[in-house]
């Protein structure tokens, strides 16, 4: 059902019980339109675009370098701290280990995979196209 | 987490522009300040050091400074130096002492005050750190839970490290703390202000840790990893 609120529904119709949701939507739309008309004079084009302005946010060195929270316990000295460490220290440690173990990096995998896709693509092409020989581009033509 | 890239060695007063941002936001760490002449596009360097960048939008300066400069969100170790009413003054190693409200502990009310005395050691988070104002500490997170913050017990030892070593040790990839943990049980709190609180069963173990840090201070990260691998 294509809902089109451009059609003005009568006041009496909107008051009816089954029109509750529609009434809310109509009211919201009217409010939005009113608000926009009110403030459109004050908001300039420059404010809307503000090209290239950057909002700077201060952060701790731990956020920058991805450091762990400093309270650590080893060998069961403080069970409570060790439990809290699970989600922070141990997770970051395992992630780092995993990254080291991976003998094929994600980027390499993506590259390899795309060549496999290419070769398989060739296989499903009609024979005529498949056997096309590579032609050396003429040297007189510009490269780009 | 994406890798850290080094951009350039910069001196205080130099201007950094062509900044990358994500949704027009850029995160700046220690050593950088907004450039007053062009506040919305460039930064000014306040410390000599290497400018580092981590994608998508984080910049900071890695320097070999010894003086701790407070930064919002830092987790630090402080010593209570003065009590006055509802607020205690805490020495965190910066130019100015920080203030800590007794109500910013988990479950603290007017009747249920935490037992804070002069000389106590607290592990706290910096709520505000502005160059014109005194730093303010809290011992709770945004959900009013203490987590690992709070007063540290009296049976530990406080030692001073340098800032670079503290940052190296807090990197989860550094195996030094884990390797020590295999030898004997211990609990450690390291603040980014270059202080460490150590608790172990024997005084001997505490001394071992202190000596290890003393040696690690002058070693590169590579040689620390190598030494840890050999002691396995």
Instruction: List the domain range (segments joined by +) for residue A73.
Output: 68-101
Which of B93, B202, B39, B187 has the alpha carbon at shortest distance from A53? Answer: B39
Contact A56/B181, CB-based, under 8 Å? no
Task: Kindly state whether residue A11 falls inside one of the protein's structural domains.
Answer: yes
Report whether B189 contacts B123 (CB < 8 A): yes
To 5 degrees, how large is the angle CA A62–CA A68–CA A70? Answer: 95
Query: How confident is residue B49, by pLDDT bands cut at 50, 70 and 90?
Result: very high
What is the structure's pLDDT at B75? Answer: 93
Task: Kindly state whether residue B198 falls inside one of the protein's structural domains.
Answer: yes
What is the structure's pLDDT at A113? Answer: 84
Task: Kindly state whether residue A143 falls inside one of the protein's structural domains.
Answer: no
pLDDT tops 50 at residue B118: yes
Cα separation, B130 vs B72, in Å, equals: 8
pLDDT tops 60 at residue A4: no
Cα separation, B34 vs A33, in Å, equals: 38
Q: How many CB atoms lie within 10 A of CB B92?
A: 25
Task: Kindly state whether residue A56 falls inside one of the protein's structural domains.
Answer: no
Could you tell me where the DSSP H helices lie in chain B? 163-170, 176-183, 203-216, 221-230
pLDDT tops 70 at residue B140: yes
pLDDT tops 50 at residue A2: no
Residue-wise pLDDT tens digits, A66-92: 888 889 999 888 888 888 888 888 888
DSSP code per residue over B35-79: -TTSTTT-EEE-S-EEEEEETTTEEEEE----S----TT-EEEEE
Of A37-51, B86-100, B163-177, the least confident? A37-51
End-to-end CA distance of chain A: 51
pLDDT tops 60 at residue B57: yes
Between B176 and A104, whose confidence is greater? B176
Mark whether B170 and B145 lie in a shared domain: no
Any chain B CB within 8 A of the CB of A26?
Answer: no
Cα separation, B165 vs B194, in Å, equals: 8
What is the structure's pLDDT at A130? Answer: 67
Minimal Cα distance from B54: which residue of A? Answer: A64
Phi, psi of A140 (to 5 degrees): -75, -25
Distances (CA, A) of A33 to A11, A28, B85, B113: 18, 9, 54, 53
Check which CATH number belongs to the domain holding B121 and give it: 2.40.50.140
Last residue of a domain, one of B122, B152, B182: B152
Query: How confident is residue B9, by pLDDT bands cut at 50, 70 and 90?
Result: very high
What is the structure's pLDDT at A49? Answer: 62
Minimal Cα distance from B32: which residue of A? Answer: A58
Q: Count of domains in chain B?
A: 3
Q: Count of domains in chain A?
A: 2
Instruction: List the domain range (segments joined by +) for residue B36.
Output: 4-62
Minimal Cα distance from A91: which residue of B? Answer: B172
When the pLDDT of each residue in chain B is averaged and rounded to a whole number, the result is: 90
Query: How confident is residue B97, by pLDDT bands cut at 50, 70 and 90?
Result: very high
Rounded mean pLDDT, A126-130: 71
| Chain B hits for A95, Cβ within 8 Å | 1
CA-based nearest distance A143→chain B, Å: 31
**What Rg, from alpha-carbon coordinates, does chain B have?**
19
Contact B60/A67, CB-based, under 8 Å? no
Cα separation, A106 vs B55, in Å, equals: 17
Task: Kindly state whether residue B49 falls inside one of the protein's structural domains.
Answer: yes
Mark whether B225 and B201 lie in a shared domain: yes
Query: How confident is residue A6, by pLDDT bands cut at 50, 70 and 90?
Result: low
Q: What is the ipTM of this complex?
A: 0.82
> Chain A window 43-62: which residues touch B at a Cβ cutoff of 8 Å?
52-62
- Helix-, strand-, coil-residue percentages of chain B, each rounded to 5: 15, 35, 50
Minimal Cα distance from A90: which residue of B? Answer: B172
Contact B189/A75, CB-based, under 8 Å? no
Contact A74/B187, CB-based, under 8 Å? yes
Rounded mean pLDDT, B116-124: 93
Burial class (CB in 10 A: 0-12, 13-18, 19+), B216: buried
What is the structure's pLDDT at A1? Answer: 45
Cα separation, A11 vs A16, in Å, equals: 9
Task: Kindly state whether residue A12 falls inside one of the protein's structural domains.
Answer: yes
Minimal Cα distance from A53: which residue of B? Answer: B40
Any chain B CB within 8 A of the CB of A39?
Answer: no
Rounded mean pLDDT, B198-203: 92
Out of B52, B77, B172, name the one closest to residue A68 (CB): B172
Any chain B CB within 8 A of the CB of A83?
Answer: no
What is the structure's pLDDT at A63? Answer: 87
Task: Kindly state whether residue B123 falls inside one of the protein's structural domains.
Answer: yes
pLDDT tops 60 at residue B177: yes
Q: For an interface test with A, which of B22, B170, B176, B200 has the most A Cβ atoms less than 10 Å from its Cβ?
A: B170
Residue-wise pLDDT tens digits, A17-73: 888 888 888 888 888 888 888 777 776 666 666 666 788 888 898 888 888 888 999
Rounded mean pLDDT, B78-91: 93
Contact A54/B186, CB-based, under 8 Å? no
């Amino acid at each position: 059902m294509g809902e089109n609120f451009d059609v003005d529904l009568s006041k009496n119709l909107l008051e009816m019980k089954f029109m509750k949701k529609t009434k809310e939507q109509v009211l919201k739309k009217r409010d939005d339109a009113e608000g926009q008309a009110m403030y459109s004079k004050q908001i300039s084009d420059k404010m809307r675009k503000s090209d290239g302005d950057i909002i700077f946010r201060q952060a701790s060195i731990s956020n920058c370098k991805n450091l762990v929270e400093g309270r650590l316990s080893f060998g069961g000295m403080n069970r409570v701290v060790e439990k809290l460490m699970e989600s922070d220290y141990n997770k970051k440690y395992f992630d780092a280990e995993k990254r080291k173990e991976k003998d094929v990096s994600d980027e390499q995998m993506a590259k390899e995979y795309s060549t496999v896709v290419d070769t398989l693509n060739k296989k499903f092409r009609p024979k005529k196209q498949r056997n096309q020989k590579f032609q050396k581009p003429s040297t007189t033509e510009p490269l780009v | 987490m994406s890798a850290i890239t080094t951009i350039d060695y910069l001196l205080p007063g130099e201007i950094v522009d062509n900044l990358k941002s994500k949704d027009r936001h850029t995160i700046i760490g220690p050593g950088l300040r907004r450039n007053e002449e062009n506040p919305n596009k460039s930064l000014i360097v306040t410390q000599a050091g290497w400018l580092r960048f981590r994608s998508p939008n984080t910049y900071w300066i890695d320097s070999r400074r010894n003086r701790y400069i407070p930064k919002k969100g830092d987790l630090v170790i402080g010593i209570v130096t003065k009590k006055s009413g509802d607020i205690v003054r805490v020495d965190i190693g910066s130019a100015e002492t920080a203030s800590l409200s007794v109500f910013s502990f988990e479950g603290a009310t007017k009747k249920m005050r935490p037992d804070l005395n002069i000389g106590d050691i607290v592990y706290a988070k910096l709520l505000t750190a502005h160059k014109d104002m005194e730093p303010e500490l809290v011992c709770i997170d945004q959900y009013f839970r203490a987590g690992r913050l709070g007063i540290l017990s009296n049976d530990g030892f406080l030692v001073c490290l340098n800032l670079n070593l503290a940052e190296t040790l807090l990197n989860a990839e550094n195996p030094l703390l884990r390797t020590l943990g295999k030898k004997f049980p211990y609990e450690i709190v390291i603040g980014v202000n270059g202080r460490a609180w150590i608790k172990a069963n024997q005084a001997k173990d505490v001394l071992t840790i202190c000596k290890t840090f003393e040696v690690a201070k002058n070693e590169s990260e590579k040689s620390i990893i190598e030494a840890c691998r050999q002691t396995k």
